[in-house]
Each structure stands twice: as structure tokens, then as C-alpha cells.
């Protein structure tokens, strides 16, 4: 029996909170091979990513030029994968670059606009390159979203509260946007008004997503990532809540995505579509 070659993986944003976890997880996965670590911090340029994060040498230096690292990922027997946990301002271009080089993107970075998502979908389709855009890699969020879809059949009133650490660059969270989109796909308008009301301070009622669903964003030190979906009807409140206590919770979803993206030929948006 011939052994399958490991999947070459590039991690973009390798020095970040998520990037570091992904480096650990990928370097421990027997069917994967870390071939590149990209980040912008000049302090660590050229240093071994394994040594920087305290897991021992991996013989992979931190580089700041994504394009040249993507080329490395095309030199192996098997098509490479780029995992991106960078910043909302760069994720669109990073994803396009990976597709252009024939490296399959697994995107965790949030903040892509609807238009950018659509452009990437078309670009991936034309290039026949499997691409995964996953606003949340945790199994708990997939389960919460499924429970919310079930509840939305019976409740007409719903609001979303998302709570994150104060270093988060985008609001609302990608998870809250996706959750609202999934509820919106039920095709019914939520929250029919009971009285005429106005905001005496702009933003008091949050942002308005699909089908009139409000999203409220909290940013505080001490938080990691949390989401509540509250359903109300006369005399009862049904609350769904997910809490993250450690970023390792995302790693089973990240590894699954790296494996699954190699089987795809187009863009898929959301972990629920591949588990």
C-alpha cells in the first residue's frame, strides 16, 4: 500500500493568537507538513516559528512575503493549503493570492464584505480551487446555530449579542453575521414592532442584519469570544449561549477544514457545510 503524501500547509498570521495555535496543531498532525509561516512583525523575521512559540525548532522561518511562501507550497507532490488568521484589511487580497498560486485557502479571518465574498466565490470557481471561508471553527457554534434555526420556527422575536476581547478589529463578529444570515434564510421577518420607537442615542438598538435581526457587539478585556441568541415570546425567554475559554477549541475544525478543502473545487462558506 502506498502512503499518502502529507498536505503542505502555509500559516499566514503565524505570530498571532490563532496563528500560534494553528502552527502547534499542524505540526502535530501526521498527515500535514508545515511549509511556511508568514507574519509582518520585523522583530521575528527569519527566526524559527517553532522556537518562537516554544515548541522546539520546526525548521520553518517566519517570512513576511506571502507570495514567495505560496510558491513553496506549490513545490510539493500534493497541492498546498494556506490557513489565514490575519486582519480584515488584508484577508481579501491574501485569499486571491492563494487562489492565483493554486494554493487552497482555509480562511478564519473575519470582516470580508458580502461583495468580497461574492468576488472570491467567482474567482475560486473560475480557478476550480477549493476554498473554505469559516467564520467560526468551533463545534459549539455550529450546534448553537442549529438550535437557533430550530427555535426560529417557533419564535418571531430574536436578537444576537456577541462579546469579544478588546483587540478584535471588526464588529459585528463574523459569527454573529453568519448566525443572522442563517436565521434570515428561514425567510420570515423577525421582530414586528409593538410600538413606534426611536433611538435617543444612535446605535442603542445595535446593528440591523438580515430580516430585521439586531446584533449588539461588546468589546472588553477579560473576554475571549462569546455569543448569545435570545428568543422572546409573551411570558418566556429562550437563550442560547456559547463561551470560548481557550483558542484550542478551534483546532479540530481547522484541521478538518485543511483536509476537506483538498476535496473541493469551489468556495464553501461555513463549517456546518463540511461536518
Ligand X SMILES: O=C(O)C1=N[C@H](C(=O)O)C[C@H](O)C1
Ligand Y SMILES: NC(=O)C1=CN([C@@H]2O[C@H](COP(=O)(O)OP(=O)(O)OC[C@H]3O[C@@H](n4cnc5c(N)ncnc54)[C@H](OP(=O)(O)O)[C@@H]3O)[C@@H](O)[C@H]2O)C=CC1
φ, ψ for residue 228, nearest 5 deg: -120, 140
Q: Which is nearer to ligand X, 50 or 253 (CB)?
A: 253
Is position 87 an interface residue for ligand X (rule: CB under 6 A)?
Answer: no
Is position 217 an interface residue for ligand X (rule: CB under 6 A)?
Answer: no
Beta bridge partners of 38: 12, 63
Question: Does the annotation flag 174 for ligand binding?
Answer: yes
Question: Does the annotation flag 108 for ligand binding?
Answer: yes
CB of 109 to ligand X, least distance (A): 9
Interface with ligand Y in residues 161-190 (CB under 6 A): 168
The interface partner of residue 130, options being ligand Y, ligand X, none and the CB cut-off 5 to 8 Å by kind, is none
User: Which grid coordinates belong to 120?
Assistant: 472570491
Contact segment (CB under 6 A) with ligand X among 61-69, 87-95, 173-181, 213-221 equals 173-181
Q: Which is nearer to ligand X, 104 or 164 (CB)?
A: 164
d(CA 77, CA 63): 22
Nearest residue to 36 via CA among 99, 100, 80, 101: 80
Question: Does the annotation flag 39 for ligand binding?
Answer: yes
Q: Which is nearer to ligand X, 32 or 107 (CB)?
A: 107
Instruction: Kindly give, in sequence order, each residue whose CB lies less than 8 Å from that of residue 98, ignoring residues fewer than 6 positions away.
Output: 70, 82, 84, 104, 105
Is position 136 an interface residue for ligand X (rule: CB under 6 A)?
Answer: yes
Question: Does the annotation flag 206 for ligand binding?
Answer: no
CB of 144 to ligand X, least distance (A): 11
Is position 174 an interface residue for ligand X (rule: CB under 6 A)?
Answer: yes
- If you search the block for the grid coordinates 434555526, which residue do you land on? 149
The CB density around residue 96, as the number of other CB atoms within 10 Å, is 17
Beta bridge partners of 7: 32
87 catalytic residue (yes or no):
no
157 catalytic residue (yes or no):
no
d(CA 232, CA 142): 21
Q: Considering only residues 28, 41, 67, 74, which one is a binding residue for ligand Y as defined by CB under 6 A? A: 41
DSSP 144-210: HHHHHHHHHTT-SEEEEEEEE-TT--SSS-HHHHHHHHHHHTT-------SS----SSTTTT-EEEG
Interface with ligand Y in residues 98-117 (CB under 6 A): 108-111
The interface partner of residue 97, options being ligand X, ligand Y, none and the CB cut-off 5 to 8 Å by kind, is none
Binding site for ligand X (CB under 6 A): 110, 135-136, 164, 168, 173-175, 225
Catalytic residues: 164, 168
Residues engaged in binding ligand Y (CB under 6 A): 12-13, 15-19, 38-41, 85-88, 90, 108-111, 134-137, 168, 250
Amino acid at each position: 500500500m502506498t502512503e499518502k503524501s502529507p498536505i503542505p500547509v502555509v500559516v499566514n498570521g503565524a505570530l498571532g493568537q490563532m496563528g500560534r495555535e494553528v502552527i502547534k496543531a499542524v505540526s502535530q498532525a501526521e498527515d500535514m507538513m508545515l511549509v511556511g509561516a508568514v507574519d509582518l512583525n520585523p522583530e521575528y523575521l527569519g527566526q524559527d516559528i517553532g522556537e518562537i512559540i516554544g515548541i522546539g525548532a520546526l525548521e520553518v522561518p517566519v517570512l513576511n512575503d506571502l507570495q514567495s511562501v505560496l510558491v513553496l507550497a506549490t513545490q510539493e507532490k500534493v497541492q498546498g493549503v494556506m490557513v489565514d488568521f490575519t486582519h480584515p484589511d488584508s484577508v481579501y487580497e491574501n485569499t486571491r493570492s492563494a487562489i492565483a498560486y493554486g494554493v487552497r485557502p482555509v480562511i478564519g479571518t473575519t470582516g470580508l464584505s458580502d461583495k468580497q465574498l461574492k468576488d472570491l466565490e467567482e474567482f475560486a470557481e473560475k480557478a476550480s480551487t477549493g476554498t473554505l471561508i469559516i467564520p467560526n471553527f468551533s463545534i459549539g457554534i455550529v450546534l448553537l446555530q442549529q438550535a437557533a434555526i430550530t427555535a426560529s420556527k417557533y419564535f418571531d422575536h430574536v436578537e444576537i449579542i456577541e462579546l469579544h476581547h478588546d483587540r478584535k478589529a471588526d464588529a459585528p463578529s463574523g459569527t454573529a453575521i453568519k448566525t443572522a444570515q442563517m436565521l434570515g434564510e428561514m425567510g420570515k421577518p423577525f421582530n414586528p414592532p409593538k410600538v413606534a420607537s426611536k433611538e435617543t442615542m444612535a446605535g442603542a438598538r445595535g446593528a440591523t442584519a438580515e430580516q430585521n435581526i439586531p446584533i449588539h457587539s461588546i468589546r472588553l478585556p477579560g473576554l475571549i469570544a462569546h455569543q448569545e441568541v435570545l428568543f422572546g415570546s409573551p411570558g418566556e425567554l429562550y437563550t442560547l449561549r456559547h463561551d470560548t475559554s481557550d483558542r484550542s477549541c478551534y483546532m479540530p475544525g481547522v484541521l478538518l477544514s485543511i483536509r476537506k478543502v483538498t476535496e473541493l473545487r469551489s468556495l464553501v462558506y461555513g463549517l456546518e457545510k463540511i461536518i
